[in-house]
């Protein structure tokens, strides 16, 4: 007979920087229980089926597959989101965009656009916090659109909608008080693309030309045609791209431009406002 404590004690993930957390998440999922259950009932017997599932999960994790893809879910903001390999895994740093948007805009009715929504993380976090806002989320990948829509429906967020669009292509004539995006921003030759969990994520959600700025350039250039006067553009970018993004915003006549740090002290998001 195998008990929970024994599985936790003997499981190994030598190449994971978050090995203990990964092991607990995978075992809890195999058991269909919470992580707290593992520590509350360490002597509970584990069925052979659950032990086999846990072993399979560990094998996939040892190969480098992200826990979020193994389990098919990831927490973001206050939401539990379905994730899949054709979308980027939502990261804690991206919550900075949500915080900034909630800080900048009023509680009253606002039209918001989330470009490249993936799982719908940013759009659905905003819609969940501001029931009076009308949030549009777009992505060019049909599978991502379907995934974001499933998340929207499960969370019952009727003030959000999900559309298929390559950036602004399907949004002719529409204007918003806020445009927000976590676009691809990694340079094509960046060696990190071949290392760690990111190997399993779709390159289309990560790579943006030789310097990683191709999509940021396009969004910044086209955003003014889709913003109301005084509207805000909020962007996530690479740790070393803030100065370039500020320069691009200034070039396209944005004002009140500033960058904000992530948890590691890197300038991770930049925002600017269209003149009134």
pLDDT tops 90 at residue 201:
no
Quote the tokens at residue 221.
């250039």
Mean per-residue pLDDT over the chain, rounded: 91
Give per-residue pLDDT as tens, 231-267. 999 999 999 999 999 999 999 999 999 999 998 899 9
Task: Provide the pLDDT for residue 82.
Answer: 96
* Span of 38-42, 175-179, 218-222 with lowest mean pLDDT: 38-42
Radius of gyration of the chain (CA): 20
pTM score of the predicted model: 0.89
Contacts for 146 with CB less than 8 Å, ≥ 6 apart: none
d(CA 154, CA 80): 10
Residues near 108 by Cβ (< 8 Å), separated by ≥ 6? 132
Place of tokens 């195999």: 30
Q: Which domains does the chain have, with CATH numbers?
A: 4-63 (no CATH), 84-273 (3.40.50.150)
Q: How many CB atoms neighbour CB 162 within 10 A?
A: 25
Q: How are beta strands 134-139 and 79-82 bridged, if at all?
A: unpaired
Task: For residue range 132-158, list pLDDT tens digits in order.
Answer: 999 999 999 999 999 999 999 999 999
Looking at residue 234, its pLDDT comes to 98
Distances 12 to 7, 16, 72, 174 between C-alpha atoms, Å: 10, 9, 21, 52
């Amino acid at each position: 007979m195998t008990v929970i404590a024994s599985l936790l004690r003997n499981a190994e993930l030598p190449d994971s920087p978050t090995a203990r957390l990964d092991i607990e998440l995978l075992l809890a999922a195999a058991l269909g229980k919470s992580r707290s259950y593992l520590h509350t009932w360490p002597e509970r017997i584990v069925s052979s089926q659950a032990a086999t599932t846990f072993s399979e999960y560990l094998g996939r994790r040892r190969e480098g597959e992200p826990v979020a893809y193994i389990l098919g879910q990831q927490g973001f903001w206050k939401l539990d989101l379905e994730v899949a390999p054709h979308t980027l895994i939502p990261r804690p740093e991206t919550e900075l965009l949500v915080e900034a948007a909630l800080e900048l805009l009023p509680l009253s009715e606002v039209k918001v656009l989330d470009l490249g929504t993936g799982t719908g993380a940013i759009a659905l976090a905003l819609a969940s916090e501001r029931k009076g806002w009308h949030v549009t989320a777009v992505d060019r990948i049909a599978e991502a659109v379907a995934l974001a829509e499933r998340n929207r429906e499960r969370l019952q967020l009727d003030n959000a909608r999900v559309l298929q669009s390559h950036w602004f292509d399907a949004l002719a004539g529409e204007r918003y008080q806020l445009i927000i995006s976590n676009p691809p921003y990694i340079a094509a030759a960046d060696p990190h693309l071949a290392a760690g969990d990111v190997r399993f994520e779709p390159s289309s959600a990560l790579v943006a030309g030789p310097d990683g700025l191709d999509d940021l350039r396009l969004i910044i250039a086209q955003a003014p045609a889709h913003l109301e006067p005084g509207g805000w553009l909020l962007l996530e970018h690479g740790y070393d791209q803030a100065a370039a993004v500020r320069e691009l915003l200034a070039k396209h006549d944005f004002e009140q431009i500033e960058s904000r740090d992530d948890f590691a002290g890197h300038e991770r998001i930049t925002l600017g406002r269209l003149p009134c």
